[in-house]
Chains A and B, each alone.
Chain A
Amino acid sequence: MEESDNQLLDRYAAGEEPAFEELVRRHQRTIYDLAYRMLENHADATDLAQRTFVQAFLHLRSFRRESSFRTWLFQIGLNLCRNAIRDRARRTHENVEDLQLAGASDIFEATAKAEVRDRLGSAIRKLPERQREALVLRVYHNHAFAEIGAIMSCSEGTAKANYHHAVNKLRQVLVGKEGSL
């Protein structure tokens, strides 16, 4: 019978190193998937997934086991994603200013090509942060709305509303662009 996360955490706290590896192995794909869907590239997703586990083990004493270890990892991961997206937005803003000096037409051309390549991805990227988080947690990680609320530090109703808004917005964007799906 497979050990629970809490049993593994107890073993890790008692100094058993294999428990650490087992915990990471058990959740590495999920956290990487979350990071990839939020940041959309392998390098950033790898770095963020790694930092999520580091932060979790570094602050293990503050994990009170009121939620599951998995939920706690999601909370840490999502917080790191938010920071990474904001940092990236700041950097992009600076880069866009540089590009504008080079020539505005290049930017629009590049943007148009990217949108054609991935229209849905572009629509997802344009979603407000909270809506995007709810969408990723629901669609790709099959979380119940109560759990999404716990991860996003909001009520179940707010999580549900964020998700529904996200889906409706994507539908409107895609219908508007393509006429019909």
Chain B
Amino acid sequence: MTCSDIRNMTVPYLELELEGERVHQVTVHLETCLDCRSEMESVRQVLVRLKGRVVPDPGQRFWTEFPGRVREGLLHARAAVSRPDRTTQIRPNGLRVPWWPWAVAASVIVLLGAWLLVGVQLFGTQGNDLTKNSFPPKNEAINNGSRGSDLGDVAEVDWDKTWDEDDPDMVLVDIAARLDPLTVDRLFKEI
């Protein structure tokens, strides 16, 4: 057993926490090692001094009165717990109203507002997309030759307002918009 091992066991040795075999090993080492013996003695002195530090006794009257003081403290603490705090607010007529329903209502209003705002923006975008998707896109029209610009104009018409499924001309316009410009030219020539 080395001096380092012994030093790790100094406190348990002094507090009688070591097993019999260990105690014997430490004792044998201490008999032959002056440094470890000196260290052991200094730790023992520290423990003795620590144990010797006494707390002044406040006296019998203090101990007799102490439970009463605790009881008094407990009553104060319970009163403080039952006292109104920020979780309730008092209305002018004296009626106590919890604050949390107001908080919930405010949160619902904010969420509803946000939802409506997002919804309007989404519907607006989708509406534009629907209008554009119901006719050939501008780029496609431009790529289809000189009539492209006309087709582009057709695509930008607000058909939601003018569309009438009973109007055969409008159906023809729709079909024409889906045809390529050369076919349209040929058809119009024939007309």
Contacts and interface: CB of A to CB of B under 8 A. Distances in A.
B83 to A, nearest CB: 14
Give the bracket for the number of chain B residues in contact with chain A: 20 to 34
B66 A58 contact: no
Contacts of B142: none
A55 B81 CA distance: 12
Contacts of A180: 42
A24 interface: yes
Contact of B46 (A36, A42, A51, A181): A181
Nearest to A164: B11
A24 B42 contact: no
B66 A139 contact: no
> What secondary structure prevails in chain A residues at the interface with B?
helix
A175 interface: yes
A53 interface: yes
A53 to B, nearest CB: 4
Contact of A50 (B11, B41, B66, B81): B66
Interface string A64-85: 0000000000000000000000
Interface of B: 11, 41-43, 45-47, 49-51, 53, 55-56, 58, 62-63, 66-67, 69-71, 73-74, 77-78, 81
Given A57-B70, A120-B49, 5 more contacts: A29-B63, A58-B74, A58-B77, A164-B11, A174-B49
23 contacts: A20-B67, A25-B63, A25-B66, A28-B63, A32-B66, A33-B55, A37-B53, A49-B66, A50-B70, A53-B70, A54-B74, A54-B77, A58-B81, A135-B50, A139-B51, A164-B11, A167-B46, A167-B47, A168-B43, A170-B50, A171-B42, A174-B45, A174-B46
